[in-house]
Structure 1
Amino acid sequence: MDMTLFPTKGNLIIAKNSLALSRQGYELLDKKRNILVHELMGMVDKARKLNEEILDVFEQAYKALQDANVSLGISVVQQIGFAVPEENSIQIREQSIMGVEIPIVTIDRKQMQAGYGFRMTNTALDIARQKFEKAKELSAELAEIENAIYRLATNIRRTLKRTNALKNILIPKYEEITSTITNVLEEKDREEFSRLKMIKRIKEKNS
Structure 2
Amino acid sequence: MNAENRYPVTASLFMLREIKHRQERVNRGYQLLKRKAEALRIKGRQAAAELAATQGVLGHTLREAYISLAAVKFTNGESNAMVLENIGEAQVRVQRISENISGVSTVSLQAIEDPTASDSLRYAGLGAGGHRTSEAKRAFREAVRILIKFASLRNTCILLDEAIKSTLRKVNGIEKVIMPKLHNTETYILMEMDEREREEFHRLKMVKAKKVRTQALTTCRQEMSALATIDEGAISDSQPFDDPFKQSIECLTAYLNPCHTALSSSRTESSGDYKPACLPHNWDDDDLLF
Shorter-chain TM-score tier: 0.7 to 0.9
**Runs of 5+ consecutive residues of structure 1 not aligned to the other structure:** none
Contact 1:84/1:114, CA 8 A, preserved across alignment: no
Instruction: Kindly indicate whether residue 131 of structure 2 is the aligned counterpart of residue 131 of structure 1.
Output: no
- Looking at structure 1, the residues matched to 211 and 144 of structure 2 have their Cα atoms a distance apart, in angstroms, of 96
Greater displacement, 174-183 / 102-111: 102-111
Please name the residue that 2:10 is paired with. 6
C-alpha distance after superposition, 1:163-204 (max 9, x if no partner): 111000000000111122123223434554565577679889
* SS of structure 2 residue aligned to 1:85: coil
> For 1:49, what is the secondary structure of its paired residue?
helix
Deviates more, 1:22-31 or 1:134-143: 22-31
Corresponding position of 2:193: 185
Q: Is the 8 A contact 1:4 1:15 kept in 2?
A: no
Larger CA deviation: 57-66 vs 196-205: 196-205
Report the Cα distance in structure 2 between the residues aligned to 1:111 and 1:44, rounded to whole angstroms: 33
Report how far residue 130 of structure 1 moved: 0.9
How many Å separate the matches in 2 of 1:32 and 1:25? Answer: 10
Report matched runs for 1:76-95 at 5 Å. Answer: 78-80=81-83, 82-87=85-90, 89-95=93-99
Find the residue that maps to 1:6 and give its secondary structure.
coil
Normalising by structure 2, report the TM-score.
0.62
User: C-alpha distance in 2, partners of 1:3/1:161?
Assistant: 21
Following superposition, the deviation at residue 4 of structure 1 comes to 4.7
SS at match of 2:152: helix
Gaps of 5+ in 2: 216-290
Aligned to 1:30: 34
Residue 147 (str. 1) matches residue 170 (str. 2): no
Residue number in structure 1 paired with 2:52 = 48
| 1:83, distance to aligned residue in structure 2 (A) | 2.1
Inter-CA distance 32–3: structure 2 relative to 1 (3 Å threshold):
closer
Distance in 1 between residues matched to 2:202 and 2:159, nearest whole Å: 62
Q: Does 1:21 align with 2:25?
A: yes
Aligned to 1:170: 178
CA distance in 1, matches of 2:156, 2:147: 14
Q: Report deviation, 1:3.
A: 7.8
- Paired residue type of 1:153: D
Q: 2:36 is matched by which residue type in structure 1?
A: K
The structure number with the bigger radius of gyration is 2
Quick check: 2:7–2:181 contact (8 Å CA) kept in 1?
A: no
Aligned residues: 205
Structure ranking higher in helix proportion = 1
Q: Which letter does structure 2 place at the counterpart of 1:143? A: A
